[in-house]
Amino acid sequence: MRVLVVTAVPVERDAVTRAFGGAPESVALPGGELHRSGAFDVLAGGAGPAAAAAATAFALASAPYGLVVSAGIGGAFTPLTPLGSLVVASDIVAADLGADTPDGFLPVTALGFGRDRFAPPPALVREVAAATGATAGPVLTVSTVTGTAERAAALLAAHPGALAEAMEGFGVAEAAARSEVPVLELRAVSNAVGPRDRDAWRIGDALAALGDAFGKTAPVLEGWNRHDDRHRG
């Protein structure tokens, strides 16, 4: 089976696809244009968890996949993940799915329904971290990018140890889980989480790091996909 990589926007998709070399085959899907390179299908599914979930679901319905990877750039919370570095999610967390109350935020699980996180296969997380030099830790999915120091502090208080935030991981993971396909999230850091300062963002460096990461981790993903039975359980 193949590996499906889902990004938000075409520039992220293209950064990933370039890592595989050659000219990719373009495949039109209801969820967006998919680029096929070797064992990898790379889809720009749209920004935000809803678009990512819908696009991933369409792709998973179109062909058999053994692994889904949410990939792209994102913001970092800690000095452990400086600009241009890589993060691989140990947990994919829906950070703002729940309810606001006078006593603070309640995750959807505290309301008695749904789930608010997915855990990628730990062995795969370790192998990808070793191959790429990525730091492993929780990655938060938000529907609104953090723009203040207060909001960044609140997210860290609610999710101690979180390394980064992005907008698509949980949506991709939700679709993958419903198709019973393992999921991974890999992010390159383009900015710090907090007050928006576009002049300080390093999008070009992050995209280059993202492509480099897939160049290094492609053999890991292919090998794990071929022999994933040994990782289950």
pLDDT digits (tens, 9 = 90+) for 169-192: 999 999 999 999 999 999 999 998
b (16+ CB within 10 A) / e for 112-126: eeeebbbebbeebbe
Distance between CA atoms of 218 and 55, rounded to whole angstroms? 22
Q: Burial-class residue 8 by CB neighbours within 10 Å (0-12, 13-18, 19+).
A: buried
pLDDT tens-digit map of 116-165: 999 999 999 999 999 999 999 999 999 989 989 999 998 988 899 999 99
Give 228's pLDDT tier (boundaries 50, 70, 90). low
State the helix-helix crossing angle for 169-178 and 49-62, rounded to 10 degrees: 30
Which of 29-33, 79-83, 183-187 reaches the highest mean pLDDT? 183-187
Distance between CA atoms of 154 and 40, rounded to whole angstroms? 37
Distance between CA atoms of 191 and 189, rounded to whole angstroms? 6
In the predicted model, is pLDDT for residue 232 greater than 60? no
Pair of tokens at residue 16? 């990933």
What pLDDT sits at residue 157?
A: 87
More confident residue, 198 or 77: 77
In contact, 59 and 51? CB cutoff 8 Å: no
Give 227's pLDDT tier (boundaries 50, 70, 90). low
Report, as an integer, the average pLDDT of 29-58.
90
CB within 8 A of 12, min separation 6: which ones?
A: 44, 71, 72, 73, 207, 210
Give 31's pLDDT tier (boundaries 50, 70, 90). low
More confident residue, 67 or 29: 67
In the predicted model, is pLDDT for residue 40 greater than 90? yes
Pair of tokens at residue 114? 């749904």
